[in-house]
Structure 1
Amino acid sequence: MEEEKTLLLEQLKNIERMKVYLMSRINAIGGNRNAIRRTTVYPMAKVKPMLIDGYPVFQFSFEGALPLYKEDDRDYLAMIRHYYFRATIDAYDFSKIDFQFDKSVIIIAQHYENKLIRDLDNRNRKLIQDAIRHTGLIGDDSWWRVWNVDIGFLDPRGNHVQVYVVSQDNFAEFIEVLKKRNYQLGHIPDPSIKEGILEKYESDIKVKDDDNELKPEDVMEQLSDAVAPHFWG
């Protein structure tokens, strides 16, 4: 049982390494159109500033469920940290936003496609908050300036994460709006976009195989032996 657990965790890490490689290829063929600058991750977050009943709300939408948090695996954690940081920062030109919340609430709304038992208290939430802090929207994230709220919703359309930043003064009103309109507010990336990009990637790899370049399985083997860089110093 322990050997199987170790093997599965290592395979999960290899998947993340392969994603880093795929992301670089997707960017190379111009498939990451939502990015405002050349980036190393895919898919990007969807970022949307909104006015709801006259008060500002900033929304960040991420595809899929939050990945597992493994504190004892620094390589894996570095890759996850890098993904959420770049997916957030590179998805929007925050220099256009002349606004900063004084005292705010960050609401992590995790949408799940079924009712399997899950723990909303996933510590990777902190990675998203750190990325949002770097956008300049919330200044520092000391306990008295930034509150954190976790909420879960059932959504048969699939797993996704919606993050909302709102003023503490408007929090009570917005949480009622969110409970009623979470389905309509949620932004889910179009899966057909990813499928098209991956099809293009596969065709490129086939051409390169004919030129005796590295095959995907060879790349995977190399990546499995690589050490993830420390993206945040």
Structure 2
Amino acid sequence: MESEKKMLFEQLKNIEEMKVYLMLQINKLGGNDAAIKRTSVYPMAKVKPLLINGYPVFQFSYEGALPAYKEDDRDYLALIRHYYYRATFDAYDFSKIDIKFDQSVIITAHYFNNMQISDLDNRNRKLIQDAIRQTGLIGDDSWSRVWNVDVGFLDPKENHVQVYVVSQDNFANFMSYLQDEHRNLVTAVEEFRKETIIDEYKTEENKKTKLVETESEEKGGIPAAVFWG
């Protein structure tokens, strides 16, 4: 049993290494449209700034379930850390955001495609929190300033993870909203990414033709500017 488990983890690590190599090749061919700059990972996160009942919320969407946590394999953890950092940081132009959550809650919504018993206590979520901290949305992530909450939902189509950052003052209101509207939020972030890609394409075309220089400010998603700085 232990030898089989070790073999499976080695195979998983090899897969992560192969993903990094393949992504480098995809970048060379221009095939990673979800990234705002050249990156080494795939798939990218989908990122959307939200305005819920008058207060700001930031949504991060990741494909698949969080990978298994293996504390004693530093190489594997380094690969996973690299993936979530790049998938998060390279998916959105965070330099356009001028807000920071001083006291925040990071809500991790796990979506599972079946009702089999799954453990929400996946410590790899800390890697996502570290990546979000690097964006500048949150500062010091000590226990008193950043709370963590895990919730689970059923999605028969696929496994995925939705992460929301909200202020502690608005946490209770948002949790009530999330319970009722979580499916609509998943759909909205998908549509937002498609719109952003279209906006980025138009921006690049405007740069090439030099028709309107200020159009370059739309790169990264102009809808965010309405309430995110």
Contact 1:111 1:152 in 2 (8 A): yes
Contact 1:36 1:92 in 2 (8 A): yes
Structure 1 unaligned blocks of 5 or more: 191-233
TM-score (norm 1): 0.79
- Give structure 1 regions of 4+ aligned residues with deviation exceeding 3 angstroms: 187-190
CA distance in 2, matches of 1:5, 1:126: 24
CA distance in 2, matches of 1:117, 1:189: 27
CA distance in 2, matches of 1:79, 1:37: 20
Q: CA RMSD in A?
A: 1.6
CA distance in 2, matches of 1:13, 1:189: 29
Q: What's 1:132 paired with?
A: 132
Q: Kindly provide the CA deviation profile for residues 23-71 of structure 1, in whole angstroms up to 9, marking residues without a partner as x.
A: 1111111111111111101111011001011110000000110000101
Residue 101 (structure 1) shift: 1.0
Q: What's 2:29 paired with?
A: 29
Instruction: Report SS of the residue matched to 2:88.
Output: helix
Q: What's 1:82 paired with?
A: 82
Structure 2 unaligned blocks of 5 or more: 192-229
Residue 117 (structure 1) shift: 1.0
Instruction: Report SS of the residue matched to 2:4.
Output: helix
CA distance in 2, matches of 1:77, 1:47: 23
Taking only the aligned residue pairs, the percentage that are identical comes to 73
Q: What's 2:167 paired with?
A: 167
CA distance in 1, matches of 2:2, 2:175: 43
Contact 1:63 1:189 in 2 (8 A): no
Contact 1:106 1:147 in 2 (8 A): yes
Instruction: Report SS of the residue matched to 2:81.
Output: helix
For 1:17, give the aligned amino acid.
E
Matched, 1:38 2:52: no
Contact 1:41 1:86 in 2 (8 A): yes
